[in-house]
Amino acid sequence: MPLFPDLVAHRGNQHEFPENTLPALRSALELGARYIEFDVHLSADRIPVVLHDANLKRCAGIDKDALDMTWEELSVVNVGEAQRFSDRYLDICVPSLIQVVELLASFPDATAFVELKRASLQKYGNELFISRVCEMLKPVASQTVIISFDLPAIHYVQRNSNYRVGWVLPEYNSLTSLKAEATVPQFLFCDHQKLPADNSRLWRGPWHWAIYEVTTPAMALRLFERGAVLIETMEIRNMMRQLRNIKQRSHS
């Protein structure tokens, strides 16, 4: 049993680079993150792309729907998050899933949580969207876990592939507990703000808990004590450094 939680780089090292981009993901992996998380949509010509929002307004400053654009069009869209980084990253564009797969393959000890976004599931349907994603992930299948808020999508992956899965809980309550027991995913993801405030033990089961939106090492360690083996953070460098310092002090 580990004494400290493992960290998941939420959309890569998005504190220092635009989220869900090759530089953000590469930075997290080069820092030594064993786990990364990123989001996937499907372009109009059925190419899986790594992007959180279906609308490009927040990341690219363009009020367009990425799902209505071809990969050729998306591949030149700057997603440098000008609101956060000004003109610092004008050369960073939307990556395709296959580009991220190639990056992940060069870090064979790393695991990626690949989130299927609901907008693409709704637009293209489970069969088309999931089959395209699964096909692209084949070179790194042993390194990937497919996750989603959408429980039917998780069921589809379980029925039609050998990929590990994770369900992102919409709520933490008795109903979702029953659904988790029926689904038996390898991972359960939950926003820490949805957990009960009494510091009670997280549901026991054949899954690993991953808690996200965690901002401090103290919070990470409290959640670890409750049963969370994975802590998802947007500030991977700082969290890694601070937890490493705590480990060193505990051994001195």
Show the DSSP H helices in 125-235 as ranges: 126-137, 151-160, 174-183, 217-226
As a whole number of angstroms, the distance between CA 164 and CA 235 comes to 26
pLDDT above 60 for 1 = no
Over range 142-163, report the average pLDDT. Answer: 98
Residue 248's pLDDT band, with cuts at 50, 70 and 90, is: confident
Chain mean pLDDT for the chain: 96
> What's the pLDDT score for residue 2?
60
Over range 164-169, report the average pLDDT. Answer: 98
> What's the pLDDT score for residue 3?
77
Q: How far is CA 170 from the centre of its chain?
A: 15
As a whole number of angstroms, the distance between CA 94 and CA 28 comes to 18
Q: For residue range 219-246, what is the model confidence (pLDDT) as tens digits?
A: 999 999 999 999 999 999 999 999 999 9
189 within 8 A of 147, measured Cβ to Cβ = yes
pLDDT above 90 for 250 = no
Q: For residue range 93-135, what is the model confidence (pLDDT) as tens digits?
A: 999 999 999 999 999 999 999 999 999 999 999 999 999 999 9
**Percentage with pLDDT > 70 across the chain:** 98
> What's the pLDDT score for residue 21?
98
Every domain of the chain and the residues it spans:
6-55+97-251
Q: For residue range 58-93, what is the model confidence (pLDDT) as tens digits?
A: 999 999 999 999 999 999 999 999 999 999 999 999
**Would you call 11 helix, strand, or coil by DSSP?**
coil
Residue 252's pLDDT band, with cuts at 50, 70 and 90, is: low
First-to-final CA distance of the chain: 20
* Assigned architecture for domain 6-55+97-251: Alpha-Beta Barrel (3.20)
Residue 247's pLDDT band, with cuts at 50, 70 and 90, is: confident
Q: Which amino acid is residue 51, in one-letter code? A: L
> What's the pLDDT score for residue 167?
98
Structure pTM? 0.97
Residue 29's pLDDT band, with cuts at 50, 70 and 90, is: very high
Distant-in-sequence, close-in-space partners of 20: CB < 8 Å, separation ≥ 6: 11, 12, 14, 38, 39, 50, 51, 52, 79, 95
